[in-house]
Amino acid sequence: MMLEGLTAADSGALPLYAVRPDGLAMFLDALPGAGAAFLRATGFAAGSGEHALLPGPDGLAGAVVGLGTESSPWSYGGLPKALPAGSSWRLETGSGDAGLATLGWALGAYRARRHKAAGSAPASLETPAGTEQAVMIAEAICTARSLINAPAADLGPAELADATASLATRHGATCEVVAGTALAQDFPAIAAVGGGSHRAPRVAMLRWTGAADGPLVALCGKGVCFDTGGLDLKTPSGMLRMKKDMAGAAVVLAVAEMVMRSALPVRLLVLVGAVENATSATAMRPMDVLRTRKGLKVEVGNTDAEGRLVLCDLLTYASEYNPTAIIDCATLTGAARVALGPDLPALFCNDDALADRLLAAGRANHDPMWRLPLHDGYDSWLDSPFADLSNVSQKPMAGAVTAALYLRRFVPPDIAWAHLDMYAWNDANRPGRPEGGEAQCARALHAMIAELPKKHHLASSL
């Protein structure tokens, strides 16, 4: 199905010109009719995302969008909702980057439609030839957004596991879902987190082989479908967006879809810990001591620090397969947002080569992240007098760092591991990034994984 905002060839499509500031004078000189005079009179400067409609003898002759000084999909991302509703456009040959235009347009046209009337249709772009990869990436991102935007009443642990299984079926992968007594035995920390909800926790495990001898990449996603905070209950305002606490799982599913549809010569192990952190007589309590898959005993210093309890069992399981790299994604700490704000996921990594590749992929794909330290000096802050470690530090500082240090306890030091602590939400509408769920880091992760087979010998040293 064609994404909303994209269309096949349309004979009625109007021309869209994309212009940089340094090419504006030449463009204006070549523009026919009254368009050039109109743009000069209105002060059009070709800034990123700046756009103008071009008048013609019969009304509308076309439109122009500025690209600014950098190539970015966001230059095009505001057009679907800024240009006349329902209008159709074609990118003029040689005008802008067709792939970036398609990606930005499709991401900008996305609307949360599950419980909201459609309203006016966005403007549509005639999909340029050779942009299949951009369309595929946009489809994966929009699917992840819809998962994140779904109310918790619609998307619980069972539904999130079903989404994983459905993805596997569509792309020739396998999926195993672990629940009940098997979950309690093999993933005890996850079972404890989900023990307070009537919606039972699950672990969904997707496996896919793009090349039998390809590097194995393990992706672990925090899938807390709603987080009340447990008995350490969140405030009402703190709970408002907690349907998005499964965004880490949505991101790894988006990455898996991109990898499989790109037929990359790698092997995937995707682990989704699908739970609900609820309050009840069967919920875990502060100062309970939990067993983990690794065998470490963890004291619950705070029941609202449940995401790391979900991830620690997934990381242990992934490590047992000795992958080339393990990457986990999670909406884990408010401390990361205090440090970096909503747009920069925090990257923690035990291997400089892997970190450098992730950072480079983020920069190249307009999907940034920022590295924070795994500072050994704070590791003792997780000590507990009653268990091997606590799930939180009792110090009111460096919360994102201590959360990452907790997770590091569950990954062997000889396996390259990256932890991405993300917000996964747009607080307001921006070009290409509508208000609501966002699959942060997914495009960067896909790009990084695509490079692994080309550097297979280097990858083995990770």
Residues 6+ apart with CB under 8 A from 146: 112, 114, 437
Closest CA to 251 of 231, 222, 213, 224: 222
In whole angstroms, give the CA distance from residue 73 to residue 83: 16
Closest CA to 384 of 283, 277, 288: 288
pLDDT of residue 102: 98
pLDDT given at position 9? 83
Tokens matching residue 207: 């496996």
User: Token pair 């079972």 is at which residue?
Assistant: 191
Q: Give the residue among 257, 245, 248 at the shortest CA–CA distance from 166.
A: 257
Is the pLDDT at 58 greater than 90? The verdict is no
Of the candidates 81, 199, 207, 234, the residue annotated as catalytic is 234
Whole-number pLDDT of residue 455 = 57
Cα–Cα dist 65/80, whole Å:
12
- Residue 198 Cα to chain centre, angstroms: 28
CB atoms within 10 A of CB 100: 21
The percent of residues in the chain predicted with pLDDT above 90, rounded, is 91
CA atoms of 125 and 82, how far apart (whole Å): 13
The rounded distance, in Å, linking the Cα atoms of 437 and 455 is: 33
Which three-class secondary structure state does DSSP give residue 62?
Answer: strand
Buried b (16+ CB within 10 A) or exposed e, 232-262: beeeeeeeebbbbbbbbbbbbbbbbbbbbbb
Q: Please report the pLDDT score of residue 11 as a whole number.
A: 81
**Can you tell me the distance from the alpha carbon of 442 to that of 222, in angstroms, rounded to the nearest whole number?**
14
**What is the average per-residue pLDDT within 225-238?**
97
What does the pLDDT look like over 66-93, one tens digit per residue? 999 988 999 999 999 999 999 999 999 8
Helix (H) or strand (E) holding 239: helix 236-239
For residue 458, what pLDDT is reported?
41
Q: What is the mean pLDDT of residues 193-213?
A: 98
Distance from C-alpha of 280 to C-alpha of 85, rounded to nearest angstrom: 49
Give the model's pLDDT for residue 33. 75
Determine which one of 202, 293, 294, 308 is catalytic.
Answer: 308
Average of pLDDT values for 130-157?
98
Cα–Cα nearest to 94, from 23, 152, 43, 45: 23
- Would you call 234 a catalytic residue per the annotation? yes
pTM of this prediction exceeds 0.85: yes
User: What pLDDT is recorded for position 59?
Assistant: 86
| Mean pLDDT to the nearest integer, 129-147 | 97
The pLDDT of residue 281 is above 60: yes
Structure tokens at 68: 């600014």
Mind listing the pLDDT tens digit for each residue in 376-432? Answer: 999 999 999 999 999 999 999 999 999 999 999 999 999 999 999 999 999 999 999
Question: Which of 140-179 are b and which e, b meaning 16 or more Cβ less than 10 Å from the residue's Cβ?
Answer: bbbbbbbbbbbebeebbbbbbbbbbbebbeebebebebbb
Please provide the average confidence, as pLDDT, over all residues in the chain: 95
Distance between CA 435 and CA 408 in Å, rounded? 33
Secondary structure class of 185 (helix, strand, coil): helix
- Do the beta carbons of residue 274 and residue 246 sit within 8 Å? yes
The dihedrals phi and psi of 396, each to the nearest 5 degrees, come to -85, 35
* Annotation says 363 is catalytic: no
Secondary structure class of 27 (helix, strand, coil) = helix
Residue 121 has what pLDDT?
93
Beta carbons within 10 angstroms of residue 99's beta carbon: 18
- Say yes or no to pLDDT of 437 above 70: yes
Structure confidence by residue, pLDDT tens digits, 153-190: 999 999 999 999 999 999 999 999 999 999 999 999 99
End-to-end Cα separation, the chain, in angstroms:
39
Task: Pull the structure tokens for residue 27.
Answer: 């463009």
Closest CA to 437 of 250, 259, 166, 311: 250
Q: Which 8-state DSSP code applies to residue 430?
A: B
Query: Residue 34's pLDDT band (boundaries 50, 70, 90)?
Result: confident
- Helix/strand/coil percentages in the chain, nearest 5: 40, 20, 40
